[in-house]
Amino acid sequence: MTQALPPTAAETLQSLIALAEDVANHGQAHAEFETLYDQARHSHPELAEMLKSLWQAYVAAQRSSAFWKELSEVEKKLADRMTESHLQLRQNYLRLMQEQ
């Protein structure tokens, strides 16, 4: 039976997950994860491989989330600009109709 990671490793993993929440920190988080992975690989090889797979899936999910969040912000800004343009055109049209 494989033993669980020591508490310090679990705490380290929690801090890495918090660090990886920001895509800008992924390089640092990945480098620190490799250290944790190397430690776990020597004492718990099967657990280390599972941990690595989960880490890769987590990082990919974070990147995907950041991408969609950024895309959503761009779409919102575009929609806001289109609304402003529409309102301006409507005001211009109403002014033109009043002048006639």
- pLDDT tens-digit readout, 42-72: 999 999 999 999 999 999 999 999 999 999 9
List the structure tokens of 54. 């989960």
Inform me whether the pLDDT recorded for 81 exceeds 70: yes
- pLDDT tens-digit readout, 19-36: 999 889 999 999 999 999
Q: What do you get for the CA distance between the two ends of the chain, in Å? A: 88
Inform me whether the pLDDT recorded for 2 exceeds 60: no
The pLDDT value recorded for residue 9 is 83
Taking the domains of the chain in order of start, what are their residue ranges?
Answer: 7-99
The Cα–Cα gap between 82 and 84 comes to: 5
Helices 26-43 and 7-19: crossing angle in degrees, nearest 10, is 160
From 16, 31, 97, select the one nearest 62 (Cα to Cα). 16
When pLDDT is averaged across residues 93-98 and rounded to a whole number, the result is 93
